[in-house]
Amino acid sequence: LVLAADNILLFSLSKLVNIFKSNPVSHIAVRHNPDYDDRKRRGNVRLDKDNRVLQFIEKPDRPISEWSASPVYIYPASILSRFKEYIANGGNPDAPGHFLEWLHICETVYAYDIEGGVLDIGNRESLAEARAFFQSKDR
């Protein structure tokens, strides 16, 4: 299980973990995201009817769909060797989404549509927004 440390999850991981247990291949958390500009700041995903990842682009200039990846990934142990292969072949180690851009081409990756969101707290502005969210009585 891989989680970005600069995010607060507003959903339970238990369903994703149970799905992974029943189908132990790589899975990523995604959410429908109608905000075009926001999709440019996240991994953007195109899925088939069974939620298999057909295309993944990390922080695209032109998003390919209304599905954004949340920084939550679950991999089987066999993927560890793929990390080494990715880095050895010059893969970008900066953000975990870059690995997924590469991985979905050589391995099966499925998406799980999360029930809830993710709050980014990676900069002062987004941290202030997260604080306001938790202080709000309307959340």
pLDDT computed for residue 108 by the predictor: 97
Mean pLDDT computed over 77-103: 93
Does the pLDDT value for residue 76 go beyond 70?
yes
Please report the pLDDT score of residue 72 as a whole number.
Answer: 95
pLDDT at 91 (0 to 100): 95
DSSP letter assigned to residue 52: B
Q: Is the pLDDT reported for residue 11 higher than 70? A: yes
Superfamily of domain 2-135: Spore Coat Polysaccharide Biosynthesis Protein SpsA; Chain A (3.90.550.10)
Token couple for 59:
């922080």
Three-class DSSP category at 46? strand
**Is the pLDDT score of 2 beyond 70?**
yes
pTM for the full model? 0.89
**54 Cβ partners below 8 Å, 6+ apart?**
46, 47, 48, 104
